[in-house]
Chains A and B, each alone.
Chain A
Amino acid sequence: MIYKKLLGLFIAALFPLLAVAQSQQNVSISVSATVSGTVEMVTINTVDFENIEQEGSVIRVDPIFGERAGKMVARGTPNAEFRVDYIRERELLNLDGDGVIFFNYLVAGNFIDDQETAELLDQDIRNLQFNEDGEYYFWVGGTVDLNDINPGSYQGDFTIEIEYI
Chain B
Amino acid sequence: MNLFFKHIITTLFIALLIGLNADIASSQDISFGQYGTYTLELEDIGLEDLEFDGPINSNSGIHQVELIDAKVLAIIGVKYLDVDVDITADGKLYLDGDPTYDSDPARSIPFTLEAAFANNGENNVSSSRPIGIANTPSMSTGSARFPILSRRQQPPGPPPPPPTGDFDQSLVNETAYLYFYGQIDVGNVVAGQYRGTITVTVEYR
Interface residues of A (CB under 8 A from B): 2, 5-6, 9-10, 12-13, 16-17, 19-38, 77, 80, 163-165
Interface residues of B in 164-205 (CB under 8 A from A): 180, 184, 186, 189-204
Question: How close is A41's CB to chain B, nearest CB, in angstroms?
Answer: 17
Does B73 contact A34, Cβ atoms closer than 8 Å? no
> Chain A: which residue is nearest B81 at the CB level?
A23
Does B93 contact A32, Cβ atoms closer than 8 Å? yes
Q: List 13 A-B contacts (CB under 8 A).
A: A13-B17, A20-B31, A23-B33, A23-B77, A24-B202, A25-B201, A28-B197, A28-B198, A29-B200, A32-B49, A33-B109, A34-B194, A35-B186
> Chain A: which residue is nearest B65 at the CB level?
A31
Interface residues of B in 17-36 (CB under 8 A from A): 17-18, 20-21, 24-25, 31, 33-35
Docked complex Cα distance between A53 and B77 (Å): 79
Question: How close is B26's CB to chain A, nearest CB, in angstroms?
Answer: 12
Does B196 contact A31, Cβ atoms closer than 8 Å? yes
> Chain B: which residue is nearest A82 at the CB level?
B55
Q: How many chain-B residues does the 8 Å CB contact rule pick out?
A: 59
Question: How close is A116's CB to chain B, nearest CB, in angstroms?
Answer: 31
Does B111 contact A31, Cβ atoms closer than 8 Å? yes
Q: Which of B37-45, B118-126, B129-137, B154-162 contacts A (4 or more CB under 8 A)?
A: B37-45
Question: How close is A18's CB to chain B, nearest CB, in angstroms?
Answer: 12
| Partner among B50, B52, B56, B63 whose Cβ is within 8 Å of the Cβ of A36 | B56
Question: How close is B47's CB to chain A, nearest CB, in angstroms?
Answer: 11
Answer whether residue B6 sits at the interface, using C-beta atoms and an 8 A cutoff.
Answer: yes
Question: How close is A100's CB to chain B, nearest CB, in angstroms?
Answer: 36
Residues of A within 8 A of B49 (CB): 29-32
Docked complex Cα distance between A30 and B50 (Å): 6
